[in-house]
């Protein structure tokens, strides 16, 4: 059995989407980051970095439980364990991994900064707002250009799409009109219609 420590953020929803796509049974342990639960001793014992998501899989690769934190690492672990959504070798595998890293290194951290400075910063910081919004626009453009070439970012539907989708789902928070990125808009609507994605986006309920 898998225990998923999560909250209703894009990073948390990446993993719940994958769990739903894999059809796995799992238990949700909500970690209310607004209340600081991520810094509790109990959660820090699971993830010493104090960030969601994290999982504990009672059936780890050596027969005992394993703890995995960092959303990208969790997705690779689950995809490899169950043999789905990440090709096992060759060009297709590295296509999926590089677009997963695109999300982990850019289309996530930079969009998160845009969230902060456009919505949550206690004072307006025009330089930061412009800097991060321009980078967000650039990243959407990179994604749009890729999706003009292929239905999904790595060719076939993969963990890379699952990682990108919850961040794109907050496009309004980024002050992004998807009509300006028609290939992203097409991809976004197709993925958003998948039943497993709908379920995963509702976690924790």
Would you say the pTM of this structure is higher than 0.85? yes
The answer to whether 5 and 43 are in contact (CB under 8 A) is: yes
Q: Residue 136: which region, alpha, beta or left (left: phi > 0; alpha: psi -120 to 50)?
A: alpha
What 26-32 contacts at long range (C-beta under 8 Å, 24+ apart), as own/partner pairs, is 26/1, 26/2, 26/55, 27/1, 27/2, 27/3, 28/3, 28/4, 28/203, 28/204, 28/205, 29/3, 29/4, 29/5, 30/6, 30/204, 31/5, 31/6, 31/7, 32/7
Superfamily of domain 2-85 in the CATH hierarchy: Glutaredoxin (3.40.30.10)
CATH 1.10.357.10 for domain 91-194, yes or no, is no
Q: Where are the domains of the chain?
A: 2-85, 91-194
Residue 28 phi, psi dihedral angles, 5° rounding: -95, 130
Tens digit of pLDDT per residue, the chain (205 long)?
A: 999 999 999 999 999 999 999 999 999 999 999 999 999 999 999 999 999 999 999 999 988 999 999 999 999 999 999 999 999 999 999 999 999 999 999 999 999 999 899 999 999 999 999 999 999 999 999 999 999 999 999 999 999 999 999 999 999 999 999 999 999 999 999 999 999 999 999 999 7
For helices 10-22 and 159-168, what crossing angle results, to 10°?
140
**What is the distance between the alpha carbons of residues 88 and 91, in angstroms, rounded to a whole number?**
10
- Per CATH, 2-85 and 91-194 having the same topology is answered no
Cα radius of gyration rounded to whole Å, the chain: 17
């Amino acid at each position: 059995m898998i225990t998923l420590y999560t909250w209703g953020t894009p990073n948390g929803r990446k993993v719940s989407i994958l769990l739903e796509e894999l059809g796995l049974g799992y238990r949700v342990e909500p970690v209310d980051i607004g209340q600081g639960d991520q810094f509790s001793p109990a959660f820090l014992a699971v993830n010493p970095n104090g960030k969601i998501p994290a999982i504990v899989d009672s059936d780890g690769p050596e027969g005992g439980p394993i703890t995995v934190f960092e959303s990208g690492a969790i997705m690779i672990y689950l995809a490899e364990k169950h043999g789905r959504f990440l090709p096992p070798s060759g060009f297709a595998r590295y296509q999926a991994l590089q677009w997963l890293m695109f999300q982990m290194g850019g289309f996530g951290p930079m969009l998160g900064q845009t969230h902060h400075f456009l919505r949550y910063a206690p004072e307006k910081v025009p330089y930061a707002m412009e800097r991060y919004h321009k980078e967000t626009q650039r990243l959407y453009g990179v994604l749009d250009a890729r999706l003009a070439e292929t239905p999904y970012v790595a060719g076939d539907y993969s963990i890379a799409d699952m990682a990108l989708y919850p961040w794109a789902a907050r496009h309004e928070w980024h002050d992004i009109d998807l009509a300006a990125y028609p290939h992203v808009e097409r991809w976004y609507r197709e993925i958003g219609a998948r039943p497993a994605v709908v379920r995963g986006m509702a976690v924790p309920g």
